[in-house]
Structure 1
Amino acid sequence: MQGNPLRAADLRVHNQNIVLSIIHKAGKAGTSQSEVVQQTGLKAPTIFRIFSSLEEDGLIVPLQNAVEDTVAKKGRRPVLYVVSKHARYTIGLEFWAAFLSFGVFDFQGERVYSAMHPLGEDIHAQAVITLIVDEVNRVLFELGIEKQKVIGLGVAAPGQVDLAQKRVLYYPRIEGMKDIALCDELYERLGIPVWVHNNCSALALSEYRYGGYDHQGSMFTFLLRTGVNGAFVHDDHIYVNSLDQTIETGHIPINSDGPRCSCGTRGCLQAYLQDLDANSVQLRLALFEGLESKLQEGDVAAKRTIERAAGYLVVAMKILTRLFAPKAFLFVGCCESISQALCEQVQHLISEPDAFCTVPPRVFSAAYDPLLTQKGASDLVLQEFFR
């Protein structure tokens, strides 16, 4: 006999997690025991016991005054259940060279706290970790949330992230942020489960789920800040490479003879974009942040900068299209007008289909919203919790 069958206790926990995840996914509309029986294939007495156990533990509550389109036998409406709002909490956190963004969410996914903290220009990786620990402890104390009620802390970190090792491999814009065992260090100091992903990935997942785009289940997101990165979400899952590491879109080489990049090579997409707006990079601003008013005034040089940036992005898009064939691309920049200007120019450049892409992908634009990245990081905690 091959494999190790689940023990009875493990099977009970496994089934309970499945049921709880279904109730959580149902959101505020709730779901009934009979619906969960249909979805899981488990027997009604088993589902009844699981519901009773979850309700006794305070994880779910009946939804009062629920209305259903269908009516159960004998004219009785089935009781709908939702997860208990304050039974559990998640924390979604993002940091990069300039800011730390921090949000706390209840079990129904509602934000109960949010804040942003500027980071000093010369801040070290260990100082960032200390700030995260201090903020988590302070906010949980002020909100009166016990740590045992916190499912986990989701960290949306900059640079390349190794998901298997739970480490930030490299981020040159924060000193010492290289091969950092971020999850282990935070867990040791906080006593809360910690998961880490790339910040662009967390944002891309949130934009995919909540942005309202007609992406047809497949969208690649570019995030332009002091640098550029990208993440591919397909069928509600974030793509990572075969080493379980996040992809580094900003370091796609588009010309081996191009400008020197911070990663040490030449001709990366990020190096080309940063060369177009070196002043913003020096001032720790997002790329092209200083062009908004100039574009509105019709400045020719500003328009030309956006055109050149779009040209470089299209080269990267063609590579990504050959590899992943996303049905949509999203450009997230410092503000809507910059993102929209890039989007319009990109649409113009890709309007002619080629042999490998007969239907041009949809192209969307958005302004960077830290709240969405917080939400994406929180969702990743729930995803691991219910896995």
Structure 2
Amino acid sequence: MKSWVVGADLGGTKIRLGLVGPDDRIVAVRQIPTRAEAGPADVVARIGDAVDELARTMPADGKIAGMGICSPGPVDHETGTIIDPPNIQGLHHTPLRQLLEERLGVPVALEHDAKAAALGDYYFGAGRGERSMVYIVVGTGVGAAIILDGQLYRGAHNSAGEIGHTTLDRHGDRCSCGSRGCVETYLSGPWLA
């Protein structure tokens, strides 16, 4: 059997999933709404259904060997838990890795979305060949990742790069997190559009 993997990006409004073949090419993509307000069980069930749909596109000798999924932070990559994401209100303290492993029956890796994107850029994109870099992600929220001397820097509490709710103007517009004047109120996709 040939091993295939699924990669997924869990965002504030949508989840994009891709099936990667043994030749490291993305061969099929699905997109589903996040609908986090429905809770973890619903999100995991819909991700599982999308993975099942992707699996049906594989040849008969294919087998899904694992999944990597990224999520807005903060994320505890060691326990596979989404901690307290301001832009995904229904998934606070969700052991996503465990829930997906139970649903899919394969190993799952969970990483912070900005950190996953930074690693991809570091190894395969514009960051290739650099020793250190900062990577900034702008979407439903704003996040960053730092690579120092070839190593992903996580910080003391896994919070390095959590810049979206840094206050720029304490009298500024109200942010989705409840504070005022956060970076996200000026630079995130919903505020820029």
Is the 1:261–1:271 contact (alpha carbons within 8 Å) kept by the matching residues of 2? yes
Question: Could you say which residue in structure 1 is the equivalent of 2:123?
Answer: 209
Matched residue type, 1:90: V
C-alpha contact (below 8 Å) 2:87/2:176 kept by paired residues: no
Per-residue deviation, 1:187: 0.9
In the TM superposition, what are the counterparts of 1:271-290 in structure 2 within 5 Å?
Answer: 271-273=185-187, 281=190, 287-289=191-193
The alpha-carbon distance between structure 1 residues 197 and 216, as it changes in their structure 2 partners (threshold 3 A), is same
TM-score (norm: length of structure 1): 0.44
Partner of 1:222: 136
Contact 1:160 1:168 in 2 (8 A): yes
Q: Is the 8 A contact 1:105 1:111 kept in 2?
A: yes
Deviations 1:32-67 (A, max 9, x none): xxxxxxxxxxxxxxxxxxxxxxxxxxxxxxxxxxxx
Runs of 4 or more, structure 1, over 6 Å off, are: none
Deviations 1:52-86 (A, max 9, x none): xxxxxxxxxxxxxxxxxxxxxxxxxxxxxxxxxx7
Q: Report what 2:2 is aligned to.
A: 87
Normalised by the length of structure 2, the TM-score is: 0.82
Matched position secondary structure for 2:185: helix
Aligned residue among 15, 28, 31 for 1:100: 15
1:285-304 pair list within 5 angstroms = 287-289=191-193
Structure 1 contact 256–266 (Cα < 8 Å) conserved: yes
Aligned to 2:55: 140
Please list every run of 5 or more consecutive structure 2 residues that lacks an aligned counterpart in the other structure: none
Q: Which has the higher helix share?
A: 1
Tell me which residue corresponds to 1:194.
108
SS at match of 1:221: strand
- How far apart are residue 122 of structure 1 and its match? 5.5
The answer as to whether partners of 2:64 and 2:106 remain within 8 angstroms in 1 is yes
Give percent identity, aligned residues only: 27
Q: Which residue of 2 aligns with 1:324?
A: none
Q: CA deviation at 1:119?
A: 4.1
Match of 1:113 in 2: 28
Q: CA deviation at 1:192?
A: 0.7
Over 3 Å counting, the alpha-carbon distance change for 1:194 and 1:145 in structure 2 is: farther
Residues of 1 paired with 2:35 and 2:158: CA distance?
A: 31
Q: Which residues of structure 1 form unaligned runs of 5+? A: 1-85, 275-279, 282-286, 290-387
- Following superposition, the deviation at residue 100 of structure 1 comes to 1.2
Which protein is richer in strand relative to its size? Answer: 2
Contact map agreement 1:161 1:246 (CA 8 A) in 2 = no
- CA positional deviation for 1:210: 2.3
State the partner residue of 1:129: 44
Q: Is the 1:260–1:271 Cα contact (8 Å) retained in structure 2?
A: yes
Change (3 A) 1:236 1:108: farther
Alignment partners' CA distance in 2, 1:239 and 1:176:
28
Quote the offset at 1:123 in angstroms. Answer: 4.8
SS in 2 for 1:142: coil
1:281-309, Cα deviation, whole Å (9 max, x unpaired): 3xxxxx534xxxxxxxxxxxxxxxxxxxx
In 2, distance between residues paired with 1:245 and 1:166?
A: 15
- The equivalent of 2:92 in structure 1 is 178
SS, match of residue 184 in structure 2: helix
Q: Does 1:238 align with 2:142?
A: no
Which position in structure 2 is the counterpart of 1:337? none
CA distance in 2, matches of 1:125, 1:89: 25
How many residues end up aligned between the 2 structures? 193
Matches of 2:154 and 2:118, distance apart in 1: 13
Quick one: structure 1 residues 182 and 145, their matched pair in 2 at CA, closer, same or farther if it must change by over 3 Å? farther
Separation (CA, whole Å) in 2 of partners of 1:100 and 1:177:
13
Distance in 1 (CA, whole Å) between partners of 2:93 and 2:45 is 17
Q: Which whole-Å CA distance do the structure 2 matches of 1:266 and 1:161 have between them? A: 23
Q: Quote the RMSD (CA, aligned, Å).
A: 2.8
Q: Which amino acid aligns with 2:107?
A: P
